[in-house]
Amino acid sequence: MIRTVAILDDYTVVKNIPLEQLHEKNVQWFWTDFNKPLKEEMMQLKEFFQFHPLAIEDCINHLQRPKLDYYDDYVFFVIYSLQSNPLKKYEMDIFLGTHFIVTFHMEDSNALNQVWYQITNEKVTGSWSPNYVLYRLIDKTVDEFFPILYELEERINRLEDRRAYKTYENKSIEQLLDQLFRARSELLFLRQTINPMRDLIYRMINSRHLQWMHAKEAYFMDIYDHLIRLTDKIESNREVTSDIRDNYLSVSTHRTNRIMQVLTVITTIFMPLSFLAGIYGMNFSYMPELEWKYGYFIVLSIMFSLGIGMYRLFKRKGWLK
């Protein structure tokens, strides 16, 4: 689908204007959005807008990192957007010229739809321009990163709370570790998405080719600050997950050691008992104790006393706490 909105010289907003009318004299600037375009609609990038073949190839392939390319009379941007449940990223391509902005994306963008609604349903003033639309798009896109990170951070905090209260069952350790490693994987995914966006904004702010950036620098510095905050929170949460993982593994190792300790104590208690049972289980013809009237009860008493004595000894040493 292709949709276009045009801003006339008197700031009148014209919705769904045909592409052929965009070059009329009273059109001050316009915004064309390619939303999940068909193959024949993609041809308009070349036939009507005459964009560079390499930029068009980047749009179609959708395998690009966030980047910034300069052409004769426009600039080509690639930015990332995120969606949750499941967590994934998708690419948005933007062509920015003096009198136009063209967006191209193969997934619905909530950030773009908000800006589109704003420009088509609210009063447009002189502050609106293609550059300002670009700022609004990137700003809304970056703002959508925060709820995703906050939700992930909440899950990590719940894992940490479970660790603090030691709610460990035999089966839950593996489940908790699985949740923890999934959270770490999502943090890595967020870092791989947000860091290139941060680098892109830094390039834009420091670019000599974007003459209009001087007037909008404060706006983009605000976006850059948001991205710095996001990356800091990601690194902080990665450190928290590392600590939780180490604590989980320590508790699991401690439990294993305790089990082995108990089994070792039980084995040690039964060693002398097995020794006595082995002696009197030998098939010798002459063993004086076998003919003794109270021999059986005396041996049982000795074995019982040995077991109780060793148990109390190990208890006193703290091996059975």
Query: What pLDDT is attached to residue 12?
Result: 87
pLDDT exceeds cutoff 50 at 224? yes
All CATH 3.30.460.20 domain ranges of the chain, comma separated, are 1-124
Most trustworthy range by pLDDT among 218-222, 245-249, 256-260: 218-222
Percentage above 90 pLDDT, the chain: 31
Q: What's the rounded Cα separation, in Å, for the pair 218 and 38?
A: 38
Domain 257-316 CATH class label: mainly alpha
Tell me, letter by letter, the H, E, C secondary structure of the chain.
Answer: CEEEEEEECCCCEEECCCHHHCCCCCEEEEEEEEECCCHHHHCHHHHCCCCCHHHHHHHHHCCCCCEEEECCCEEEEEEEEEECCCCEEEEEEEEEECCEEEEEECCCCHHHHHHHHHHHHCCCCCCCCHHHHHHHHHHHHHHCHHHHHHHHHHHHHHHHHHHHCCCCCCCHHHHHHHHHHHHHHHHHHHHHHHHHHHHHHHHHHCCCCCCCHHHHHHHHHHHHHHHHHHHHHHHHHHHHHHHHHHHHHHHHHHHHHHHHHHHHHHHHHHHHHHHHHHHCCCCCCCCHHHHCCCHHHHHHHHHHHHHHHHHHHHHHCCCCC
All CATH 1.20.58.340 domain ranges of the chain, comma separated, are 257-316
| Other CB atoms within 10 Å distance of the CB of residue 44 | 16
CATH architecture of 1-124: 2-Layer Sandwich (3.30)
pLDDT exceeds cutoff 60 at 281? yes
pLDDT exceeds cutoff 60 at 88? yes
pTM of the model: 0.76
Give the model's confidence band at 226: pLDDT under 50 very low, under 70 low, under 90 confident, else very high.
very high
Two structure tokens written together for 226: 């948001």
Angle at 227 between CA 85 and CA 233, to 5 degrees: 70
pLDDT digit string, tens, across residues 141-180:
999 999 999 999 998 888 777 554 455 554 567 778 788 8
